[in-house]
Every structure is written in structure tokens, then in C-alpha cells.
């Protein structure tokens, strides 16, 4: 369920209303109520989920949700007791249902909300804003014009620089966030709705563990439903992009201009050179190294060093680069 510190629940809602909203065809149970949306792995009897691909039918059966959006040719995949809503684009229907059932909390009209909890020794710079029900631990410094959103929890002895925004996030102790960083913005998710592209609501959080450093103007998006997690003592340079649902391990290093696409998993101790890019749903093994400006499109095993575009083991990349240089030089000599 979306964290109630960050999202208001607007349900329960009858399935008949969701069917009308999404243009889905409902197979019975119009008055049946659902309270939340959920991905397949977290679905339950009070939730509505969606399935686009028959390969995940087993997950749908295990979750046993109360209702499910399904393509018209896959209605038979619904488990017993699950109400079926058939629709051309189940993900778009899910997005519309999510917007109806959940709403991000917004700040109040006070610089420091009356119910915010600040421990002893917290220092607030000029123009800092602390949202409703936010919590800030002892000895933490919040820079000028920084905005801490509703429900955010920040640990002790942290340093949050000026012009930072932190929302939908739980921050550990001794974390440093440099100027202009954006933590907890919605991840990039869109799908085709009835009248064009629509945003898919991002209902997850950002979890930043103890001792992490986040560079200036770096962006870490909150999860689409699961969390985006930055592991203990990881160091992130300036101008890095970390997309929704990414899991970064402990003691990792990401140099400037690195871009990590959605749902990537990075093992402990991994290292990324500047301008490295990683495609979505990739697994980077423990202790792996990615050379600067590499483009990673396949999983990297633990301990290996890869480079190039598309990235491959470093020795192979060097050999191929040297061979191409020799061939180009030889051809150039022949042309003369």
C-alpha cells in the first residue's frame, strides 16, 4: 500500500465507478469495493492490479487480488474470486485507477508546519520549508530555501545544502545532500490513454541509508510502486540521474553524469565512471566496474570491468578498439 505519510487514500471505490472511469468492461460485481492499487507481487483482496503479459500469469494467481485489469484475450487468467475488467490497455486503466484511489500529500501554508518534529540542535537556513508531519533528527542542518516535504523523515547529523527538495523520502543518519539536488520527484512513467499519453502515478518512496553523499543537482526519483533505495555509505557525484525502482548497494561510487534507468539493481561496491549509462532492468554485480561513457545494455557479472558502447568486458573492448584502429590506419595507407 502507498505509504500514508506521503499519500492520501481516497477509497474505497466501487468497481463500477472504475469501469466507467477507464472504459473497461466489468464482469459482474459493480458494487464491490477496492481500496488501493497494487502491482502483482503485492496484490491482495482489497486491491486492483493489472496484467499486460501472459508470462506473469503465475504472479497474478499467487497474489489473488480483488480485481484486475486484463486484455480482452486474457480474461481467462484471472484467479477464482478476482473481478475482471477487460480493457485495451490495462496499464493505462491501472494509472487512471491509481489517480482515483491515491493522492500525494501537499504542504501547508506555514514555513515550518505545526506538527513537524525537529529534535534538539536542528539548524534551519533562511527560507527553509518543513512540511506537515516531517521529522528531522538531532544536529541536522537544513540549508537556505530547501524544502522538506510532508511526512519526510531525516536522521541525525545530516547536512542538507541550500535549494534542495526532499519529498516522499526516508533519509538515514549522517547523510550529505549537496545544493540543488532533487530527491523523491516522480519517476518517468507514461502510457497511452484514451486521449493520448498519460502519466503513470508514482506511488513509491526513496530510501537513503546512513552515510550516503548525494552530489549537487543530482536527481533520485521515487519508485513507481516499490522503493528506490540508496545503500549505506554510497557516494554519488554531481548531476547524476537515478530513476524509479533502482536499488543501489552499499559503498558504491557513481561519478558525474552517470544515468541509471528504472528498475536497475546494483550490487555492493560497484563503481561507475563519468557519463556511464545503464539500460532499465539491468543487474550490475557486486564489485563490478563500469568505465566512463560506457553504455550498459546487459547484466554485468560480479567483479568484472566493462566499457564501450554497447558495454562488454574491458579486455574485449580494448582488443576491438585496437583492431579497428589498425584496420583504419591500414586502409588509410592503402588509399594514399
Q: Please identify every residue annotated as catalytic.
A: 244
264-296 exposure pattern, b = at least 16 Cβ within 10 A, e = fewer = bbbbbbbbbbebbbbbeebbbbebbbbbeebbb
And the C-alpha cell for 288?
Answer: 563490478
Please state, in angstroms and rounded to a whole number, the distance separating the CA atoms of residues 180 and 160.
10
And the C-alpha cell for 330?
Answer: 591500414
And the C-alpha cell for 8?
Answer: 492520501
Half-sphere exposure of 33 (CA within 13 A, CB side): 5
From residue 209, how far is each of 51, 141, 168, 170, 245 by CA, in Å? 33, 17, 14, 8, 15
And the C-alpha cell for 126?
Answer: 533562511
- Angle at 136 (CA atoms; ends 134, 141), nearest 5 degrees: 130
Indicate the DSSP class of residue 63: H
φ and ψ at residue 154, rounded to 5 degrees = -120, 135
Cβ atoms 230, 236 nearer than 8 A: yes
Please state, in angstroms and rounded to a whole number, the distance separating the CA atoms of residues 125 and 196.
43
Cβ atoms 138, 121 nearer than 8 A: yes
Burial class (CB in 10 A: 0-12, 13-18, 19+), 31: exposed
φ and ψ at residue 14, rounded to 5 degrees = -70, 145
Amino acid at each position: 500500500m502507498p505509504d500514508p505519510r506521503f499519500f492520501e487514500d481516497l477509497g474505497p471505490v466501487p468497481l463500477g465507478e472504475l469501469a466507467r472511469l477507464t472504459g473497461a468492461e466489468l464482469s459482474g460485481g459493480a458494487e464491490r469495493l477496492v481500496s488501493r492499487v497494487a502491482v502483482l507481487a503485492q496484490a491482495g483482496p482489497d486491491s486492483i492490479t493489472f496484467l499486460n503479459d501472459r508470462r506473469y500469469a503465475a504472479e497474478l494467481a499467487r497474489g489473488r487480488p480483488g480485481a484486475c485489469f486484463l486484455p480482452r484475450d486474457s480474461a481467462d487468467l484471472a484467479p477464482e474470486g478476482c473481478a475482471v475488467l477487460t480493457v485495451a490497455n490495462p496499464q493505462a486503466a491501472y494509472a487512471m485507477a491509481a489517480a482515483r484511489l491515491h493522492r500525494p500529500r501537499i504542504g501547508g501554508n506555514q514555513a515550518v508546519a505545526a506538527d513537524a518534529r525537529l529534535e534538539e540542535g536542528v539548524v534551519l537556513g533562511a527560507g527553509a520549508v518543513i512540511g506537515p508531519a516531517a521529522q528531522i533528527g538531532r544536529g541536522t542542518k537544513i540549508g537556505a530555501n530547501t524544502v522538506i516535504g510532508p511526512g519526510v523523515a531525516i536522521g541525525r547529523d545530516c547536512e542538507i545544502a541550500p535549494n534542495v527538495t526532499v519529498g516522499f523520502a526516508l533519509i538515514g543518519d549522517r547523510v550529505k545532500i549537496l545544493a540543488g539536488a532533487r530527491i523523491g520527484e516522480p519517476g518517468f512513467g507514461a502510457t497511452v490513454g484514451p486521449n493520448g499519453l498519460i502519466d503513470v502515478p508514482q506511488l513509491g518512496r526513496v530510501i537513503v541509508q546512513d552515510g550516503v553523499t548525494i552530489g549537487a543537482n543530482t536527481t533520485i526519483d521515487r519508485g513507481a510502486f516499490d522503493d528506490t533505495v540508496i545503500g549505506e555509505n554510497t557516494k554519488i557525484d554531481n548531476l547524476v540521474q537515478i530513476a524509479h525502482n533502482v536499488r543501489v548497494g552499499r559503498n558504491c561510487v557513481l561519478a558525474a553524469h552517470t544515468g541509471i534507468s528504472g528498475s536497475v539493481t546494483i550490487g555492493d561496491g560497484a563503481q561507475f565512471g563519468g557519463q556511464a549509462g545503464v539500460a532499465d532492468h539491468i543487474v550490475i554485480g557486486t564489485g563490478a566496474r563500469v568505465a566512463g561513457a560506457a553504455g550498459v545494455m546487459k547484466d554485468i557479472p560480479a567483479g568484472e570491468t566493462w566499457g564501450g558502447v554497447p558495454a562488454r568486458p574491458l579486455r574485449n573492448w580494448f582488443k576491438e578498439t585496437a583492431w579497428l584502429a589498425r584496420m583504419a590506419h591500414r586502409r588509410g595507407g592503402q588509399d594514399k
